[in-house]
Amino acid sequence: MDRSEADHLLELWRRRQCPWCGGVIPEGSIVGSGRRTEGAFCSLDCYARYYELELSARAQRAAATLGRRFDP
């Protein structure tokens, strides 16, 4: 992750603002990875949409690994 993006996400976390939809995150309902520099989101949907490309690449790597491991 680019350092300026991490700084931006941290600032939004401090303001309790969702980086995807821009909404205010209610107290006690933060969704995310647990790392403040990766942002805080108001819902799992916003988190998934924001990290869609990264999550897709992880899933493809996992599928490729499983395919090689269990290939007869």
Tens digit of each residue's pLDDT (9 = 90 or more) over 5-27 = 899 999 999 999 999 999 999 98
Dig out the tokens for 71 from the structure.
Answer: 């290939």
Indicate the pTM of the whole model: 0.72
The helix/strand/coil state of 1 is: coil
The per-residue pLDDT for 69 is: 52
- Per residue in 41-63, is it b (16+ CB within 10 Å) or e — as a string? bbeeebbeebbeeeeeeeeeeee
| CA 12/CA 14 separation, integer angstroms | 5
Q: Closest by alpha carbon to 47, among 15, 9, 8?
A: 9
pLDDT > 70 in the chain, percent: 90
Average pLDDT along the chain? 87
Q: In the beta sheet, which residues pair with residue 25? A: none
